[in-house]
Structure 1
């Protein structure tokens, strides 16, 4: 799971500033990705404490990299905040359910990031083959 989270974070940090050149479907995928980041932020805070900022920082880097127009920036922010609120509402405390939800969010985020990474822009990033990651929706045993 950590490999998936790392791949998602690396993708979000390395994306080119092309949001205004993206199709409607790609813009929707970006909005979906920000919701997953918000949900991941809530789940991480539930398990690691309220000062945890990993996914919020990645959201900020994604917005900086994308340089979205005003409308898309507002939609991305609203989506992140909706994911954050939903994650907090459903999983107010850490437990097996929150850890499983974080793993599932990682899979959803990876799928969205994969879809966005296959866009033919000059990113210099090679898409990661999902089979090579050996990622499952189940969290690792602790």
Structure 2
């Protein structure tokens, strides 16, 4: 399940977005994904130890790929830290509930990644003009 989530995040990061192309919804979704990555980081470290940087590295790659402006950069980093703190306080060490929490967080991350991928595809696809001129008639 984590591999699907990771694959979606990586696919999302393959196309950097320009700041002017981001809607308020896209900003919010990126901040939510950062929160999920922070949660994932805390949950993984609970069982793997503090040296495990898997999800933190994914976060760094997301920031590098997105090239956010200062405001979005702050929102993304605050989201990651808030997600990390929330799950670290809930699961300071490995416990049976960690695996269930990881599955729930992965499902949420997958949904967010899918939403972001769809938004990026919509931005990348050329839009047909709304005022189409009538086609020229043959003479």
Give TM-score, length-normalised by structure 1: 0.80
Q: CA deviation at 1:17?
A: 3.2
Larger Rg over CA atoms: 2
Conserved? CA contact 1:35–1:79, under 8 Å: yes
* Partner secondary structure for residue 6 of structure 2: helix
Partner of 2:131: none
Aligned-residue CA RMSD (Å): 1.6
Question: Matches of 1:61 and 1:81 in 2, distance apart?
Answer: 16
Partner of 1:34: 34
Question: Matches of 1:85 and 1:100 in 2, distance apart?
Answer: 18
Distance 1:105 1:20, change over 3 A: farther
Q: Runs of 5+ in structure 2 lacking a partner?
A: 126-139
Question: Matches of 2:22 and 2:79 in 1, distance apart?
Answer: 18
Partner of 2:129: none
Question: Matches of 1:18 and 1:115 in 2, distance apart?
Answer: 17
Partner of 2:17: 17
Matches within 5 A, 1:39-58: 39-58=39-58
Question: Matches of 1:21 and 1:107 in 2, distance apart?
Answer: 27
* Partner secondary structure for residue 118 of structure 1: helix
Distance 1:91 1:50, change over 3 A: same
Distance 1:88 1:121, change over 3 A: same
* Partner secondary structure for residue 94 of structure 1: coil
Number of residue pairs aligned between Structure 1 and Structure 2? 123
* Partner secondary structure for residue 50 of structure 1: coil
Conserved? CA contact 1:13–1:58, under 8 Å: no
Partner of 1:81: 81
Question: Matches of 2:51 and 2:19 in 1, distance apart?
Answer: 30
* Partner secondary structure for residue 68 of structure 2: coil
Give TM-score, length-normalised by structure 2: 0.82
Q: Runs of 5+ in structure 1 lacking a partner?
A: 124-142
